[in-house]
Amino acid sequence: MFRLVNLGELKCGKTDFNSFLKLSGDILRFGGVSKAIVIDRYNNVVKGNDLCDALRRLGCVYAPVTINEDSETLARLVTLEELGFYEDIKPEPMRVFRSTLELLYRNWPTPLVRLESLSSKEVNVWCKLEWYNPYSCSVKDRIAWYMLKKAFEELGRVDTLYEATSTNTGLALAALSNIYGIKSRLYLPSTTQQCVDYIFRLMGAEVLRKEATITTEMIEDVKKDALKDGAVNLNQFENDYNFEVHLRYTAKEIDLQVRSSGLKLAAVVGGLGTSGHLSAISHYMKNRYGDQVKVIGVVPASGSIIPGIRRVESGMKWVHLVKVDMIYDVTLKEALEGLINVARRDGILVGLSGGAIVQAARKAISDGVVNEGDIILIIPDHGLKYIEIIERCIEVQFF
Ligand code: PLP
């Protein structure tokens, strides 16, 4: 016999990322669990530590437990619903928030909106608007919040943060640092717009410009500086909580939004920077729904710089651990065309990477990669953030 108990009551340790990846994949694929966690009278986990940890990291509320060591395998599947898997997505219906932090996680799911400009009789294209996150007005609020939350749990306290960023992660971390009374130093590559310095300073962060084209070129320097000065470097490029937060929230939100609206999910299209969000969404969707959901990545074409996204060969941690069906190269000019098309038909101003994602979706439809159903584009941020680059695009007569 098993019973369902609150996961918070169980004492289990953390397992390594690869075991979590495998076990979370199994749980998503089976739609639940068919084993119980064996515990003693004091709620110590005796057997099934990896299962306990995986359920917790997936955001489940309950776990099946038994105190009889021999009856670990259950007679039936305990479903994701029974495990309270979907319960951590609880939007605030009346839109009243008691803190800006609540505004972050109780504002989820971020909206999904259908684009008239890209939809047809066969295919509907939807944008998940990540600029609805309050701090950086981007997808990066999610990782900044979660990486910091985990750092508090694991380190006890954080006094100073150092991080390499192209804009959004830095802005989110500067905001959260202010909330928690942390000093922040943000490292920017030389290619980032000048106005980002002003915004970071306005937020109270220290800004350091480096001779680098992309953020990843600064990783080792930031690590060294942090070590020397006793600062915490969350390191979005290698921190597995980057992946985990998108698995637990972003992907789960998409799943709930799709199911509650009766959509037929054919593809998800997203940009690749650290590869955190698209890899986590792929892990979720491929395990849950198989290859009927295509996962399409977007990177800048060789020679183009599009803020937030970069070439796979520049080094990404998670994209190699999951299945991505195809990757489209998009030039800055094409990204701008995507942005303009959506702005002039649907009236919303997506960011430059958003424009690149729109163009990739267009290509996927015209190439016949997706020919029916619903496509979801993950739009990382808003176009107003990129005025300096847009100014340069006008100078070279891109539009
Ligand atoms: N930031 C922006 C503005 C982006 O456009 C993108 C990807 O499209 C990212 C970040 C990358 O996200 P990730 O680091 O999760 O790959």
- pTM score: 0.97
Domains defined along the chain, listed by start? 3-68 (3.90.1530.10), 100-134+241-395 (3.40.50.1100), 140-229 (3.40.50.1100)
Residue 1 has pLDDT above 90, yes or no: no
Task: Give the mean pLDDT of the chain.
Answer: 96
What pLDDT, on the 0 to 100 scale, is given for residue 41?
A: 92
pLDDT tens track for 334-365: 999 999 999 999 999 999 999 999 999 999 99
- Which pairs with CB-CB distance under 8 Å and at least 24 residues apart come from 15-21? 15/49, 15/50, 15/53, 15/54, 17/240, 19/50, 19/54, 20/50, 20/53, 20/54, 20/57, 20/244, 21/283, 21/321
Partner residues linked to 73 by β-bridges: 35
Pocket test of ligand 1: the residue of 129, 138, 139, 377 to mutate, having most ligand atoms within 8 Å of its CB, is: 139
Percent pLDDT > 70 in the chain is 99
State which ligand 1 atom lies nearest to the alpha carbon of 378. 8
Closest residue to atom 2 of ligand 1, CA basis: 308
Closest residue to atom 3 of ligand 1, CA basis: 308
State which ligand 1 atom lies nearest to the alpha carbon of 168. 1
Closest residue to atom 12 of ligand 1, CA basis: 273
pLDDT tens track for 92-145: 999 999 999 999 999 999 999 999 999 999 999 999 999 999 999 999 999 999
Interval between CA 304 and ligand 1 midpoint (Å): 15
Interval between CA 160 and ligand 1 midpoint (Å): 24
Closest residue to atom 7 of ligand 1, CA basis: 271
Pocket test of ligand 1: the residue of 272, 295, 296, 322 to mutate, having most ligand atoms within 8 Å of its CB, is: 272
pLDDT tier for residue 378 given thresholds of 50, 70 and 90: very high
The C-alpha angle 143, 148, 149, rounded to 5 degrees, equals 100
Closest residue to atom 11 of ligand 1, CA basis: 273
